[in-house]
């Protein structure tokens, strides 16, 4: 089973590119966590102000390590300090492995 965790982050007008640059640093954070299958950061096609961070994890423990990491805290703190976003929403789903 794989766990998919999504963060949807809505940029302030005029701050979307800078928000994307800030969120892109999460690739490094995910790469350093054992159990990270994949971590993607991308803008939504139909809304250039909305960014998606999508992590695929082998276990809840790996996902929790990412969510509790200093790296994630630093990225989110920087985005807050720079006033880059107006809204952040998180969600999770379980994905069954197909044999």
Instruction: Give the pLDDT confidence of 46-75 residue by residue, as tens digits.
Output: 999 999 999 999 999 999 999 999 999 999
Count of other CB atoms within 10 angstroms of residue 91: 9
Backbone angles phi, psi at 79, to 5 degrees: -60, -35
* Mean pLDDT score, 6-22: 97
Q: How confident is the model at residue 92 (pLDDT cuts 50, 70, 90)?
A: confident
């Amino acid at each position: 089973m794989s766990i998919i965790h999504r963060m949807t982050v809505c940029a302030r007008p005029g701050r979307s590119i800078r928000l994307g640059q800030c969120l892109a640093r999460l690739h490094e954070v995910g790469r350093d966590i054992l159990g990270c299958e994949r971590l993607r950061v991308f803008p939504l096609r139909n809304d250039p102000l909305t960014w998606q961070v999508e992590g695929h994890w082998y276990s809840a423990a790996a996902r929790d390590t990412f969510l509790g990491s200093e790296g994630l805290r630093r990225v989110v703190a920087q985005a807050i300090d720079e006033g880059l976003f107006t809204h952040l929403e998180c969600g999770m789903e379980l994905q069954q492995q197909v044999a």
